[in-house]
A and B are shown apart, each in its own frame.
Chain A
Amino acid sequence: MLRELRPALVLIVMFTIITGLIYPLAITGIAQIAFPHQANGSLLVKDGHVIGSSLIGQTFTDGGYFQGRPSATSGPDPTDPTKTIDAPYNAANSAGSNLGPTSKVLIERIKGEVDKRKAENANAPVPTDLVTASGSGLDPDISPDAALFQVARVAKARNLSEDRVRRLVGEHVQGRFLGILGEPRVNVLALNMALDRLAPR
């Protein structure tokens, strides 16, 4: 056993140096040169301020913006740091609801979301992704159906024609990779930034 001690100690230290320090730091160096935008979090900057990341969803409550999916993330309570409170789209604490399929809490939460959506648009079926929480709580996307569902509300709030807003949604639909992988989707933040450019408020 003792004859194995030296190789064990030497190799764990050497592999920590090779795979735990040199490897990640070398990748960091290459990434910072080759893909600086992605390597630093795909940040979006407007007027010198970081307004978010194109990959990370944000909360939108204003009716004049397209809204993303419900988010189950939480954060520390500002008045009592030992407690946590709901903090949607908290990008420093990713989480899904993790509620099971027969959870009363889940079904009641979804029912509340459905009622809210029906009040805003009674003419179309409510898309499921618009009333279910994502796995990360940071989903930047909604389905094309979920975007189209909100067109009437957004158009009214922005004094735009529904056709114009619908066309804007169409321009922001990302298809499947090579027509095969993934699902069609609309990045909510990108769509809302385009909306601000189209009809500034």
Chain B
Amino acid sequence: MTANGWLQIIVYFVVLTALVLPLGRFMARVFEGERTLLSPVLRPVEIGLYRLAGVDATREQHCISYTIAMLVFNAAGFALVYALQRFQAVLPLNPAGMSAVAPDLAFNTAVSFTSNTNWQNYGGESTMSYLTQMAALTTQNFVSAATGIALVIALVRAFARTSAKTVGNFWVDLTRCTLYVLLPLAVLGALVLVWQGVPQNIGPYVDATTLEGAKQTLSQGPAASQIAIKQLGTNGGGFWSANSSVPYENPTPLSNFLQMLSILLIPAALTLTFGRMVRDERQGWALYAAMSAIFLAGVALCYWAESYGNTNFAALGLDPANMEGKEVRFGIANSSLWAVATTAASNGSVNAMHDSFTPLGGMIPIIMMQLGEIIYGGVGSGLYGMLLMVIVAVFVAGLMVGRTPEYLGKKIEAKEVKMALLAILVLPLFMLGFPAVAVLLPFGLSSMQDAGPHGFSEVLYLYTSQTANNGSAFAGFTGNTLWYNTTGGIAMLFGRYFVIIPMMAVAGSLVAKKTVPASAGTFPTHGGLFVGLLVGVILIIGGLTFFPALALGPVAEHFAMLTKSTF
């Protein structure tokens, strides 16, 4: 660890925190339907879209119709992404002559991009045509992100409103989020990335003759536009196979800093949007504080583990700091910081290969995903996951003092707690259940690249990442098989929609409740005590559920490494 490494981490956190307030307030204005700076340009487009779609923007939806609208929209998106992959060979914008994507891979990819996961069992430059990358994948990077944000806004309204029936209009939230929040940020981000060196063209791959006379094919494409939104929308799917470690995808330390910032920007700012919409910004800051405490602890541990490095390197007389799978321009500090940020959010893009991290350095990303990606989390999904955890935390606090728990003036009763727990328990079912089955099957085992405990970590990482809709991988693993494409697709579907449905049930129940005024007996949910309790509940639930599996993989491998064992 170096002083400069810590300085980079601190600068990152300070800049992120400084942006929470302006962006959080801006998003609150967008979702409360107010005029913004961008309205003169975008309002006509917005109205035009409603007219074409037959949407009455003033008509709000009940919780169930809001959820159904979301599901129908996602199903339509799924069908389109699947079709574009299957027919890409006969469609335009395919200068590299890519053939149709196989059905199981196309299914996995379509689920992956509509569920905001961006798990990639394919290599972009060797599988997808430019049209597929733009019209199928880039589009989903926008609308799957907007879907998540719309959903959390519905839940926030359920907390903010008293004795109401409706939680907003899905089509309005989706449209306003895409037009006013995601599109302007993406345009800005894409242009900065091109300036830093990310290609943006639709020309053919370039054949170069290197200095030593060898042939090198330089793959090209409309990359910057996709990369900007892949980070902002916590999608994470790389234009190139090795994602943001590829110099074309992430050329400089500045592009790296801005991409890392984009990963957490919207999820972090949504905490303030929440505070603003429930008319008490302190409530948002309390959630931000709880998230930041766990995030910074994770960064410190990961940075320490990667700097401490690999004992097997030291035995060869090398500096043990782990540079395998990392890029020189980023070094240890930026690679560790990115790994934690991308898994705290449900982003999943990488600037270094997590599979080659040290055992403990690679365990931190797994833990971040297993906690449910609520440490800032995915756009929207992180905050609604965190609010479900808040329900459990105030329930625990209520049990301790023998009082009906309340949050923001809403009584939290049996129905809300049951639904919150249901959503929380879906994750371990698929994160642990599928690996348990996979390691018993010969075609489950044959995909492992590494022997020993690391092989198990690869399987655990795969299902953890897909269930949590993250999309990063221990990428030595061969995920593109019939078994893993199918079960992974199922894990992504359940990990996304079977958290959303109970969450929307909570919203439906809460919105109808009246708000009770705070009294002397009310447990304040904006102070240090609440933040501590929340962090404790998150760590206890996560720890009890996942520690045994982690002991078999990363922890076992760590002790093996210390004795200089190899497998």
Query: Which A residues lie at the B interface, using CB under 8 A?
Result: 1, 4-12, 14-16, 18-21, 23-25, 27-28, 30-32, 34-35, 38-43, 49-53, 55-62, 65, 69, 89-104, 106-107, 110-111, 114, 125-129, 131-143, 176-177, 180-183, 185, 189, 192-193, 196
Q: Which residues of A contact B324 (CB under 8 A)?
A: 96-97, 99, 101, 106, 110, 132-133
Ordered by A's residue number, 12 sampled pairs between the chains whose C-beta atoms are within 8 Å are A20-B134, A28-B201, A31-B200, A49-B209, A52-B210, A57-B247, A96-B352, A96-B353, A98-B474, A100-B449, A110-B316, A128-B318
Alpha-carbon distance A49/B319, docked complex (angstroms): 40
Is the Cβ of B242 less than 8 Å from the Cβ of A100? Answer: no
Is the Cβ of A41 less than 8 Å from the Cβ of B224? Answer: no
> Does B560 belong to the interface (CB within 8 Å)?
yes
Q: Which residues of B contact A97 (CB under 8 A)?
A: 324-325, 353, 356, 476
Chain B residue with Cβ nearest A181: B253
Is the Cβ of B200 less than 8 Å from the Cβ of A92? Answer: no
Is the Cβ of A182 less than 8 Å from the Cβ of B356? Answer: no
Smallest CB–CB gap between A50 and chain B, Å?
Answer: 4
Is the Cβ of A19 less than 8 Å from the Cβ of B216? Answer: no
Is the Cβ of A125 less than 8 Å from the Cβ of B53? Answer: no
> Does B486 belong to the interface (CB within 8 Å)?
no
Q: Which residues of A contact B474 (CB under 8 A)?
A: 98, 100
Alpha-carbon distance A103/B384, docked complex (angstroms): 39
> Does B457 belong to the interface (CB within 8 Å)?
yes
Is the Cβ of A59 less than 8 Å from the Cβ of B450? Answer: no
Chain A residue with Cβ nearest B80: A12
Cβ 8 A contact of A56, one of B55, B186, B247 = B247
Stretch of B327-335, B393-401, B430-438, B535-543 lying at the A interface: B327-335
Number of CB contacts from chain A to chain B under 8 A: 385
Alpha-carbon distance A32/B476, docked complex (angstroms): 36
Smallest CB–CB gap between A1 and chain B, Å?
Answer: 6
Is the Cβ of A141 less than 8 Å from the Cβ of B350? Answer: no
- Chain B positions 465 through 496: 1 when the CB is less than 8 Å from some CB of chain A, otherwise 0: 00000000011110000000000000000000
Chain B residue with Cβ nearest A9: B76
Interface residues of B toward A: which range?
Answer: 35 or more
Stretch of B17-25, B136-144, B289-297 lying at the A interface: B136-144
Is the Cβ of B312 less than 8 Å from the Cβ of A21? Answer: no
Cβ 8 A contact of A52, one of B45, B174, B211 = B211
Smallest CB–CB gap between A175 and chain B, Å?
Answer: 10
Is the Cβ of B199 less than 8 Å from the Cβ of A38? Answer: yes
**Given A7-B171, A32-B201, A129-B328, A101 and B357 touching (CB < 8 A)?**
yes
- Chain B positions 310 through 344: 1 when the CB is less than 8 Å from some CB of chain A, otherwise 0: 10110011111111111111110011000000000
Cβ 8 A contact of B225, one of A23, A62, A104 = A23
Smallest CB–CB gap between B58 and chain A, Å?
Answer: 15
Chain A residue with Cβ nearest B567: A102
Q: Which residues of B contact A34 (CB under 8 A)?
A: 191, 194-195
